[in-house]
Every structure is written in structure tokens, then in C-alpha cells.
A and B are shown apart, each in its own frame.
Chain A
Amino acid sequence: MKVEVDGQSCLGKTFPGQSLLTWLRAAGRTAPKLGCGTGDCGACTVLLEGAAVHACLTPAQRAADRPVQTLAQLAEGSAGVERWHAAQAFQCGYCTAGFLTTLAATPPGQVDNALKGNLCRCTGYAAIADAIEGHSRLADHPDCPPDRHGPALLAGRSSYTADIIPAEALHLAVWRAPWAHARINSIDTSRAEAMPGVVAIFTPADTPDVRYSSGCHALPERDPPDLRMLDGEIRFTGQRVAAVVAETPAQARAALTALLIDATPQPAVTTLAEAKRGEVPVHPTAPDAAPNVIASVNTASAAWDAPADAHSPPVIETRHFRTHRAQHVHLEPHVTWAVPRDGGLDLTSSTQVPFLVQAKLAALLQLPMEKIRVRKPRVGGGFGNKQEMLTEDLVAWAALRLQRPVVWEFTREEEFIATTTRHPMELTTQVSFDEYGKWNRLGLTAEADTGAYGNHASGVLHCALFEGLAPYRFAAKKAVGQAYYTLTVPAGAYRGYGGAQGVFAVASTVEALAHAAGEHPLDFRKTHLVRPGDPLTIGAESAAQHELSPNALEMCLARVKAWSEGGDRVEPPSGPEWKTGTGFAVGLITAGPGPMHRSSATVTWEESGRLTLRSGAADVGTGTDTLLATIAAEVTGLPAERIDVITADTGDTPYDAGSFASATASVAGEAVRRACRSLIETLFASTPPNWDDAPRHPTERRTARATFAPDRTSVSFAVQGMRVAVDTETGQIRVLESMTALDAGRVLHPVAARGQVEGAIMMALGWTLWEDLQIAPDGSVANPTLRRYRIPGWGDRIPMHIEFCERPDPLGPLGAKAIGELASNGVAPAVANAVRAAIGITARELPLTPWRVWEELTASA
């Protein structure tokens, strides 16, 4: 078949049922991306004879002898691209080609309709709206360097993992279990082995009988080793059973259908309630352990445990809350490829944690670390879901066994049924009051459903309790929690890491107490929130040493209160049925808690008169490569354009724990700062450095290295307000606007920081209002497509007011501290509290769907 692609004649074979997307990508035209494969995300948009189409929905043969244009051609001289650059309207950039290509064929005035089929998970659409309106964020911040990956990205030339797969790579596909719980009796591979192109088939009997956790963080002992590469014991619908490796993806998928697998289904445990009964153990547990409990917390302060006054025992109020599963929906699916090399392998992966993957693979494959090189190219978002080893183990195993390159790309359905989710939780707050009616005790209980495997169960449970309780300065506190196994898709790390669940319960409770006390909710909070010098406690435990910025939280509270008193900025829908209300929440995160995070950096003064910065930090689309260069530029005085950045390659960069816990800026950034200082001290006898006189001959002195492993943690706060309108007849909620004030230290890159906050708010709004990964009674995921699991789209964007209340942090690099997840956690309670203010009902369960609100309204009527 011949297609004219970007003005060039392209020849290639096709097969019945092939989409134009895979045909183009096989032909090396990688500007259109695979996001969903179902025409829902728009990442694959191309122009076919000038009309924008989803390439994934277009049969390839319909493009025969017709012109196709991709961003690679459309970008040349495009005013839209210029505006996209000026507004920095991208983060991970995986959606960018789809947006720009769609807009290239969109007449003015039809943008809203045109963008209905384009999804962005990172930006919250605010920067995209700025780009379309011609507003330049770079002009607002002339000292802010543009993202250094922008030019390639906006030209359709960026290299994600799937864009650079070796042509000779074999393709891996996996047969996934249709049962929630079963034992595999036999796998007959003979028919599949005889199919065209099949190179190998792996079953549980072929793979190492080693158990490990897919969860990656610097404290691996926290996660139970409960996972096998391929397992004959099935614990969730979607679990890997067997793998086929074939010459082409289509051949691999076709062979899956020829596997004959016999299994005996077992009783399923698909809910928290069933798991708690313990009648069906998901995993073997120690004799003295409660069945299905994988993590526990039980801590109370001495004041909580103090004997009650027999004459006036405390009256304890309890409130119950429930949160739900969510999927990360990074637009780039998981993808990994590996090339065998000298008894080891080079592995390229869309990961947040290349160094932790390297260590896990070394242990699993029993190879020396230096035999495994892991590198991360451009990544299309992660949000915690790529803080897991979900593809790398099997790809590495297959490549080593076959001694050929092997690639494995997840489909969108696999993302939903076989990666990880946010932990659903049931939470209970407990408060009591002294004899004067003053609130004096706070307790939080959390029960988490971690699904079939325990990756991140302990950490997430702990964070839910910590981030719920720690912001408040009571002596009497108690935290109780358990995480339970169920036979469902595993939960894992998700932006906020448990904080969203804990904050939802506590911030909703605090707002109710404020209303009961007749105080403005922010004034009420001010009385009870921690202050500099206070410990951060959840019971008898307190956090590692930490620093609170003086006055910053107070500033944030004042800013949001002023916003709330400023009157209506956005008109609610007209009609008496619409009621409006404003709600609030306060959340915190700690960044870089030692010894969770460690990062090293080197800086090299090159003979060319440029500085090369090497860091293991993984930019997953958040702009940290640019941020690290910004830090280096400020410390050295060199312009950012003279600094080259190499990151996230275990073979070429020093160690970094990875991109999680919002720690890259504060930990990797501090390592970079120290390395730069060290280089300056080495090269120059006196400061300020004069780089034009710096020696350029190769000497030992020209490279400096530094490592940072914080023993204290900085604390960031977000104070959030949401204004909503609620339709009292249907229960529908419209979020009118949000206000977020952040105590995030000194903001080193205001454009990127704002983008992080906007994206976090919009992602959290989706979880609050409608995103809900549903489990069917048989344990399977009921809505495993973007058509049925809706994430916020262009039409859902809201006005977001954002203020950074800057107080330089004493610990972070140049006064900076964490931002990435900060704005996530307060959104749900702020919306729920706004609904309460509007119509007087208390939302105890998420998501706040119209029918849930309507049921409450109907019941209260």
C-alpha cells in the first residue's frame, strides 16, 4: 500500500483490520501516538486529505493513495506551535501532536467541538486554553526558561519509548486471566507454538519461582514479596498467565487465542467486607496474623490514652467516609524494550524509577547490577503507575532467554485491568470536645483495599493517616489502619499516595465542626493547624525532623479567605434550582523524607565551554530536566542554554531514587546545587565564578559530584477553596472556580509550578466527581476503556486561581520545596464542603455523582 505521508511517498504492507495508526508507526512516522486505540483520546490524530481523523479508528486501507499529514509536517512555520511554545501548553507532551493536528484543521469558532475528542491528563487544560487564546506564559515570566524538550516535542520529533523500538525487536503479548481466583491446571501451548511468527511461549513453569513486589521505592522491605512473574495461582481478573513472543504484534496476539488453559476457579473475595471476614485467604499469612491484612497501624498519643474523667467522659463524634478506585490514565501506556548485551541487557522503559527497576531486575534475574542498564526516554506521564515494575521483568526475562530484543506495549485495556489503582478506603474520623465544648481530640481510622498484591499498601495507608492527622495540633490523637488483600486489580502508588483519602475524611470533618461552631472554616482551621515548632504527629508517632515555613500557612489561609469573600466571579447557571456554596480544605505533603530519597548529581565543565549536568532524576513530563538546569544556571551563573542535561540512565548518570513523592525538586535539585557549588569551589579560587576564564583542558578537576540524602523533611501546605453550583432537582454539580494558595517555598520555575498545580487540581476533580474504576461482582474491571472511564476533558476545565505564598525553605535547593502532588489532596473535601454549604447535605462517599447527591437530597426531603 502506498500513502503520501507528510509529502513523501510511503510504501508498506498492510493487513485486513490494521489501523492507519499502526501502519504509520510501523513506517516510522511516530508523531501520532497510541493513547487509547478507541478514538477517545485524540493522541493519534492525523489529517487525511485535510480532515482530522483518529488514525486508530481509520482502516489503513482507506488511506491508500491519499495524503496524510502529521505534526512532523504541520509544525513547520505553524503559528499554533508558536503559541503552544509561548504558553508552554504541554507537560508530558504525549497528547500534544493530537491537539495541534486537530487544531490545524479546525476553523475559528469551532475549537470547543473540535477538542471534545482530545484528552490531556497533565495540564488541566489551562495552559492549552492560554495557547489557543494567544496568551504567553513565558512572557509573564521572562526569567523562566522554556521546557528544554519543547522544541522536539512541538515538532513531532520527541522520542518516547515506543518511538525508538529496534526494528528487529520481537513482540510480547500476555494471556490474562478471566477469573478473579483460580488455580491453573494445565497450559497446552502446542497449537500456539505452531502459529506463524511465534518464537517462544512462556508459562509459569518457565519463569523464576521467585517472589517480589512490583512496587518500587527506596524501602523495599515495606512491600511484601507476593508476586511472581507468571503465576499458576490467579488472584485477579487480568493477571498474567502466559506470554507469547512473536515476530509481529499481530502474530503474538493471534497466538494468545490458540493457548488452551485449564483452570479450577476458586471462591472470590472482591470486597473489603469479604476480605475482613477472612474466610478466603488471598495469600498465605503468618499464623499469628489476621487473614488478608497486609499492613497495620495502631498508634495513640499519651493524651488520647489518658484515663477519662469519670464525671465527664468525652463525647466522641464519629463520621464515616468512603473513597473509591481511580486509574492514573497517563496517556502513554506502559512500554518496555530490552536488548541483550554481554550477558546482561540494555533496557529502555517508560518508568518513573530506572534505578529501582535496575536493582529489582538484578535481584530477580540474579545478575550483577552493572550487567543491567535501564534508561528512561521521554515519558508520557506516570502519576505513580510507573513507580511499579509491571513490564520490565517479563521483557528482561524474555530478552535474556531468547537473546533477542523484545518489546512489550500495553493496550489501554491492559492499563485498566492489569496495572494499579488508587486505594479505595473506608475511613472514620473521631473527634471529641472538652467541658467547654472546645474540640480537643482527633482520631482517624482507615481501612484500605489493596487488591491482589501488597505493593505500596503500607506506605499508602500510612500516608492516608499521616496527611489526614498531621496538619492539626492536638495532643490527643489516634491513628488506626489496616490494608487488606482482595482478589481484585492491585492498588498502588497514585498521585497523593493516600493523602487524598485521609484529607477527604478529616477536612470534611473539620469543615462540619467549623460550621457547628459558627466560625469561618478557615479561621477555625487557623486555630487548630500546626505552627512552626509543633511536631507533626498521628498518635504516638511523629514525623522525622521537619521544617515549617514561618507565616506561610497563615498567608495561604488569608489569601483563600479573601478570595472567598470577594464575591461571585463566575456566574452559576440560571434558575432557582441552582444553589451555590463555597468549601475549603487544607492539605500538606512532606518532601524528601530521608532515608526514602537519595540523589546524586555530577556537573562537568566541558572543553566546549558548556556545562554537562548528569542526574539520575526521571523527568516524567513534569519538567524536572528543565528545573535542574534552572538550579544549575542560578548557582553557576551560566545561562541555561549553556547547560546540557543528561538524566535517568543507570549507565550514564549517578543514582536517584526516582520520580515520586514530589521529591525531585527538593532532593535531586539539592544534589545538583551542591554539585555546582563543589565545581565552582574546585575551578575558581574566588566567587563569583568567571566561566570565560575557566580552564577547558581535560583535567580531573573539571567534574564535581554531590549526593543529597535529607535527614530532615520540608513541609508544603495547600489551602484550597472551591465554589460550586448544585442543581437541587437532579443532583448535578458544576464546579464554578477554584482558589489554591500554596506554601511551596521559593518557586524556581513559576510556569512549570503553575502547570503542576493546575494539572493536579483537574485530575483530582475527575476523581471527586465521576472517575470511578468499577469492579463487577465477578471481580473484573467493569469499565476498562476511556469511553466508560471518563477523565476530565476540554469542556470540563474551570477557572483556577493560584497563588504561591513564597517563603524560602531552609532545606530545599535555593529555598524550593515540593509541589507536584500538593494540590491533589484538598480538592475532594473542598468540593464536598462546598456542596454542603450549597444544599446542606454532607457528602460521605466519593465520587460525588449526580445520583449520589440526588439520593441525599431525596432522603433529606
Chain B
Amino acid sequence: MDVAGLAQIKSDSPPHATAQALAGGTWLMSEPTAAKPTWIDLAGRGWDDVTDDGKHLALGAMISLSALPDHLARWPEASRLARAALAATAASSKVLCQATLGGNLGLALPFGVMNPLMTLWEARIEVQRGTGISPRHLAATALQTGDQTTALAADELVRRVHLAPDSMRGRGAVQHLRLNAASPPTLSVWVWQTDAAPERVRVVVSAGTPSPQTVLARSADEAAAGLSGIPFLTDNLGPAEYRRGILPVLLRRAWAQLESART
């Protein structure tokens, strides 16, 4: 909806601390945000670049969420999981066609789907800093630090996501529990088993937690034990006790789904 108090939207300015980056979705038009008088429109500056050298894949921050599965086509299981992730979002397909990879990562919503996916795949996040400063990189596990908080400084933006083949070849599963067909999940459990190291499965818990929680485990029980101390949210999608209580159920189901995918 119309945003009051905005002085300008600039499309030719680099990110800076007193400006708000405008990506694609756009969440900024739908939720009250900290008042910054300037928005910097990231559309049209070529940040939807995709680099594939046959091994590593680098995805520009402005690629649309709906395009992600196609960009992952050479890893069919990863592509399938990405598609399942998008189907599980509360956002409409209209939003998914406009919303971006970088925007979803940067918003760091508890029920966002890109942070858990990138954590699952051990992605590296390339961070754009102010003009003339070389980018820095951080692990996807380190990006989201809490409910709508990230490790990014005020003048930093996600520029690219780097995916490595060893992390992407494998198979995965996801289990969500939702109030209704289009509500954000109350709890999501993601599992991913790589071909390179199949004995241990990476598990990510999201939606009911402030940020994605991850553990490597050999079984659902081991994962449950490893995740026993994680924080859970209480909100209109469910109380923390409930989320804690059903985590072992979703872990077991995710494991069964993974077994089924393997066979």
C-alpha cells in the first residue's frame, strides 16, 4: 500500500546506511518498516546474473524466487526441493514471480524459505558493501541471526549466492505443519543427504524458530537430540511448547520421506 513519508526512490545510487534497498516482492509496501526517507531500487542494475562454470553456480540476488528451481535444473533433487519450498510459502505465485532470492534472504523472516534452503546446501553468501569496497563472503548458516535480523551491516546487501556441486548433489525432503493451505508453516523440517557424505544428513528446522537451526545427524532420533535445546517462537501460528512437541514427529516423517526418495 502507499508508504507515507518517503522522500525519494533512487535507482542509480549505491546502497548506504540511511537508505532502504527495494527488491522485488515487495515487502516494504506491505509491512510497516523503519522510516528511511530514501529507497534504492535494485531493479534494473543487472543483479539477476547467473554464472555457471560447470561446477559452481553463482546466483544473483535479484533472480526471482519462482526462477530458482529452473536455475538448479542440473541438480534435479535440489530443484525439486526448491519447488516444494516455494509451494510451501504463504506468498502468492504473483509475489513469487516478483520476490527475489536476495530479498528473501535479507528479510530473514522466521518462515522465509531461502535461508533454510541455503543453510541446507551450505551456500556461501557474497555480500556487497559500500562503493569501492570488495565484497565479503559468509556461510549461509551465519546470515540469519534471528527473527528479521541478519549479520549484514546497514550498508551491506546480499549480492550473490554461491552453490558448490558437492553440496548440491544428493536428495532431500521437507515436512511442514500449517494451520491452513496458505498459511506460513508453524514448523518446517528440512533434511538433505549429499552423495559425497551420505552417512550424515543435514537437518534444518525453521518457521517455528527465530532463525534456521541446523544439525548433522545419522538418524531422526539423533537429530532430535541434537536440536533439543533450540529456541522456539510463540506467535499466532502456534506456541513454543507445541512446536517443540511435534519436532520429533516431523523429523521422523522427514527421514521416512528421505528414505523413500533414496529407494
Q: Residues of A at under 8 Å CB distance from B?
A: 15-19, 21-22, 37-40, 42, 45, 51-54, 56-59, 61-62, 102, 106, 110, 113-114, 116-118, 249-250, 253-254, 257, 411, 729-732, 769-770, 772, 774, 782-783, 787-790, 792-796, 849-851, 854-855, 858
Contacts and interface: CB of A to CB of B under 8 A. Distances in A.
Contacts of B39: 16-17
Of the listed residues A62, A118, A731, A858, the one surrounded by the most CB atoms of chain B closer than 10 A to its CB is A62
Interface residues of B, number: 43
A795 B5 CA distance: 37
Nearest to A23: B2
Given A42-B92, A117-B93, A57 B236 contact: no
Contacts of B238: 849-851
A110 B1 contact: no
Interface stretch (B134-142, B150-158, B178-186): B178-186
A37 B30 contact: yes
10 contacts: A39-B94, A56-B30, A57-B95, A58-B26, A59-B22, A61-B9, A62-B43, A790-B180, A790-B183, A854-B242
A789 B184 CA distance: 11
B132 interface: no
Interface in B205-251: 236, 238-239, 241-242, 245-246, 249-250
Given A113-B93, A118-B92, A774-B236, A254 B180 contact: no
Contacts of A788: 236
Contacts of A257: 4-5
A730 B242 CA distance: 9
Given A52-B93, A59-B41, A772-B236, 14 more contacts: A17-B4, A39-B29, A39-B91, A57-B26, A58-B29, A59-B9, A59-B22, A59-B26, A113-B93, A116-B92, A118-B92, A789-B236, A790-B180, A796-B182
Contact of A790 (B8, B179, B239, B249): B179
Nearest to B89: A116
B72 interface: no
Nearest to A110: B93
Contacts of B177: 730, 732, 850
B87 A113 contact: yes
Contacts of B53: none
Of the listed residues B30, B39, B92, the one surrounded by the most CB atoms of chain A closer than 10 A to its CB is B92
Given A250-B4, A792-B180, A56 B29 contact: yes
B29 A117 contact: no
B92 A39 contact: yes
A19 B1 contact: yes
B182 A793 contact: yes
B3 interface: yes
A16 B5 CA distance: 9
Contact of A729 (B94, B242, B249): B249
Contact of A851 (B3, B92, B242): B242
B109 to A, nearest CB: 11
A727 to B, nearest CB: 9
Given A16-B8, A117-B94, A796 B3 contact: no
B246 A16 contact: no
B84 interface: no
Given A17-B6, A254-B5, A53 B98 contact: yes
Nearest to B180: A796
Contacts of B29: 19, 38-39, 56-59
Contacts of B249: 729-730
B95 A117 contact: yes
Contacts of A253: 4
Nearest to B30: A38
A671 B177 CA distance: 52
Given A39-B29, A788-B236, A858-B245, A56 B1 contact: yes
Nearest to A851: B242
Nearest to A412: B1
Contacts of A787: 30, 90
B182 A57 contact: no
Contacts of A855: 242
Nearest to B98: A53
Contacts of A795: 180-182
Given A54-B92, A793-B181, A38 B1 contact: yes
Interface string B6-47: 111100000000000010011001110000000101010000
B42 to A, nearest CB: 12
Contacts of B250: 730
Nearest to B86: A113
Contacts of B8: 16
A666 to B, nearest CB: 34
Nearest to A44: B1
A16 B92 contact: no
Contacts of B3: 16-17
A111 to B, nearest CB: 10
Contacts of B50: none
Contacts of B67: none
B182 A782 contact: no
A151 to B, nearest CB: 27
A851 B239 contact: yes
A52 B91 CA distance: 13
Interface in B78-112: 87, 90-95, 97-98
A42 B94 contact: yes
A674 B92 CA distance: 50
A479 B53 CA distance: 77
A16 B94 contact: no
Contacts of A113: 87, 93
Given A114-B93, A118-B92, A782-B236, A38 B179 contact: no
Given A59-B9, A102-B94, A770 B25 contact: no
B95 A39 contact: yes
A411 B4 CA distance: 14
Contacts of A254: 4-5
Top 9 closest pairs, chain A to chain B, by CB: A117-B92, A795-B181, A37-B1, A17-B3, A17-B6, A851-B242, A38-B30, A16-B6, A793-B182
Interface in B178-205: 179-183, 186
A854 B186 contact: no
A57 B179 contact: no
Contacts of B41: 59, 62
Contacts of A16: 3, 6-9, 39
Nearest to B186: A850
Contact of A38 (B4, B31, B93): B31
A58 B93 CA distance: 14
A254 B87 CA distance: 38
A771 to B, nearest CB: 9
A22 B1 CA distance: 8
Contacts of B7: 16
Contacts of A114: 92-94
Of the listed residues A15, A102, A730, A795, the one surrounded by the most CB atoms of chain B closer than 10 A to its CB is A730
Contacts of A21: 1
A796 B43 CA distance: 35
A729 B246 contact: yes
Contact of B2 (A19, A51, A849): A19
A411 B3 CA distance: 13
A409 B41 CA distance: 30
A762 B123 CA distance: 43
B90 to A, nearest CB: 7
Nearest to A119: B182
Nearest to A793: B182
A787 B249 CA distance: 27
B175 to A, nearest CB: 10
A851 B246 CA distance: 9
Contacts of A782: 236
Contacts of B5: 17, 254, 257
A42 B90 CA distance: 13
B70 to A, nearest CB: 14
B1 A793 contact: no
A417 B26 CA distance: 24
A283 to B, nearest CB: 30
